[in-house]
Amino acid sequence: MSQERRYSFEFFPTKTDAGHEKLIATARQLASYNPDFFSCTYGAGGSTRDRTMNTVLQLESEVKVPAAPHLSCVGDSKDDLRGLLTRYKAAGIKRIVALRGDLPSGMGMASGELRHANDLVEFIREETGDHFHIEVAAYPEMHPQARNFEDDLLNFVRKANAGANSAITQYFFNADSYFYFVERIRKMGVDIPVVPGIMPITNYSKLARFSDACGAEIPRWIRKQLEAYGDDTSSIQSFGEEVITQMCERLLQGGAPGLHFYTLNQAEASLAVWNNLKLPR
């Protein structure tokens, strides 16, 4: 892997044709900034499998930016996964984001043949050798379902040892949590790059809902300021841009190997931070 920093954007597959057209338009706008890749998420239990694949193939072939599909093992058989890997390899896809994935509501613990992300990484390596650059997830503030921080760190080490090339973190708003996580895994012998995942702040109610669900902590001072703005969207976005820009500056100054923006299929907020940071284009 190049030692240069890498910058990337993430999308989620849409449910409507109009939403998909907007996603592709956003991707074309972001493509002009020459990101290293786009990633595309995968719904709980593989619920967006076809839409994820179609979006990834279109990003790769039409928008002309390398695309990285998310692949999760929850709810999918080995045959399902093998078929996806074969299709992606044939289409020239070179990067996979390998995740355990979320259980759909009501699924219980029926989680397919592979139960953990490290199992999926091992499976991809067994099936495709070194064809794919495999990204895995990292949780600087601990996975919400982990028993404790030590267990979560061990889970990350297992993913790295299974053959992951690099990692992308869950988003966070406290740079110290990222630096502490990286320091801990380095002491545990893991040296793969860990790229911070960045969530622009544009809507407080949605952000609070996302954060409660995924275990990302919104620091009290940020939460209180956002609450104080109420429905003043302009002030929320301006404050959010400043906060995220300052955090990204600190991350990059501290040695972070790049940034991965969670766009929510919108370009403006991510590009505002990109431009403030004067990132390469």
In Å, what is the CA distance from 9 to each residue of 20, 41, 190?
16, 11, 25
The letter for the amino acid at 245 is T
Q: Six-digit token pair at 122?
A: 């091992």
Catalytic residue positions, numbered: 10
Quick one: pLDDT at residue 2?
40
Domain tally, the chain: 1
Q: How far apart are CA 37 and CA 137, in angstroms?
A: 16
Query: For the chain, how far is it from start to end, CA to CA, in angstroms?
Result: 20
- Going by C-alpha positions, the residue among 63, 111, 120, 52 that lies closest to residue 87 is 52
Structure token digits, residue 214: 């995924």
230 domain-assigned: yes
Please indicate, yes or no, if residue 47 is contained in any of the structural domains.
yes
Is 1 inside any structural domain?
no
CATH number of the domain at 174, please.
3.20.20.220
- Both tokens of residue 275? 């431009």
The pLDDT of residue 3: 52
Could you tell me if residue 266 is inside a domain? yes
Q: Which of 166, 189, 151 is nearest to 256 (CA)?
A: 166
pLDDT at 104: 55
Q: Which residue has the tokens 């920093």?
A: 5
Which residues constitute the domain of residue 70?
6-277
Structural Rg of the chain based on CA atoms: 18
* pLDDT in 10s for each residue of the chain, 281 residues: 345 899 999 999 998 989 999 999 999 999 999 999 999 998 655 556 778 888 999 999 999 999 999 998 877 789 989 999 999 999 999 999 999 876 655 545 445 678 789 999 999 999 999 999 999 999 999 998 889 999 999 999 999 999 999 999 999 999 999 999 999 999 999 999 999 999 999 999 999 999 988 889 999 999 999 999 999 999 999 999 999 999 999 999 999 999 999 999 999 999 999 999 999 88
Residue 39: inside a domain: yes
Determine, yes or no, domain membership for 59: yes
Report if residue 53 sits inside a domain: yes
pLDDT (0 to 100) of residue 100? 85
Confirm whether 181 is domain-assigned: yes
